[in-house]
Structure 1
Amino acid sequence: MNESRVTPWEVVGEVDYDKLITEFGTQKIDANLRTRLEKLAGESNTMLRRGYFFSHRDLDLILTDYEKGKGFFLYTGRGPSGPMHIGHLIPLIFTKWLQDRFKVNLYIEITDDEKFVFKRNRSWGEVQKHSEDNIRDIAAVGFDPDRTFIFKDSEYIKNVYPLMLKVSKKITFSTAKAVFGFSNETNIGSIFYPAYQVVPTFFENKRCLIPNAIDQD
């Protein structure tokens, strides 16, 4: 039997999602948590009922904060590797539902830097073309313009670089290697990139909810 491998950049083999939950250390979204979320949202959600979103980290704590009036914010993103398809839209549609129901801020990161450094044969111009196209597609989902900020990493870095440095100083290479599977062949741009991806979780002094596929955990 071929072993499966799941990283933020590739999925190989047949995925055992229960095993993945155990390996990643996440928790299942059980019936009680789903009911609690939908009660606070004021309506049920088809994607939750059908199990499209089946695992979480600290969703229970986020809902507790919301019940106490502390709120939370949303963060998601898109790696501009090419045209978007329905699989890319599913997390965005669910994110829109969360924003609409809970009236919270949303930050959408366009990781043009990631898609450039992780693919040796991908040109900067190609990444920028996909970035602009993807941003238009994301905007078409219909997020609340007063509560949504879409930013491209290469343009916004000047605003967050000091925080990136603080984050990077706390993460050892051995940790990054264990989490992301980096090797001696990995370029240093790829190794540094995760420090940027962490930064938006600090944009507000609240808990951050990140709707995404489990391979991005």
Structure 2
Amino acid sequence: MADSLQFKSLDPIVRPSVADQVFDTIYEQVLSVEMPPGTKISEAEIARHLGVSRQPVRDAFFRLSQLGFLVIRPQKATTVSLISARDIFRARFVRTALEVETARRACRDLSQSDLNALQVLLEKQKQAVDAGDRSRFHALDDEFHQLICEQLGFGFCWDVIREKKAHTDRVRFLSLAFASQTALDDHHAIFDAICAKDEMKAEAAVREHLGRIESIIAHLREENHSWFAEED
């Protein structure tokens, strides 16, 4: 009897590995500055605290070092990296070039269904701002910029941006304590320009949005100078 029945194959259930869970935990701690820049951490301590073996912690440490969140020195303590303003400005330069071009292309190429999807994201962002949920807004912020790239078939642009934005992420997250509404307003300005198919306004909105990082760094540096690397 069972041989005659037709079944649709089930999608595989993807569960995060232990290493992924360790990575996510430490990532959130570093991003939110619960582990401030300069904090010394050890594999053994993290493994004991999380109740796991050292191997998944070692794997997570390596991934975080590749992102620029941790500094691993053989025979020395692993530390949370200091925030590099120089690296932020370099990443901002690359990101501006890419996002200006994607915004201009979005004015020409995005469909109404694409715009509807962006509108839904903006509504979710407003809910996060109203709830004071910085972690949620931060994730939705990234999703907004990533979605525009992917809607255009330019997912590779977001891959480049994501590789270089670890230091920027910490600064952006911290800024949401006082500038989340400004970020949301900026996203609406970008969206409105795209809907109007106004390439010049879209470019200006992107430049203004990404350019705010300079004043944000100055503000945060006054309050937490020791978190930033000393650079020429």
TM-score range, shorter chain: under 0.3
Q: Which has the larger radius of gyration?
A: 2
Q: Which structure has the highest helix share of the two? A: 2
TM-score normalized by structure 2?
0.25
Q: Which structure has the highest strand share of the two? A: 1
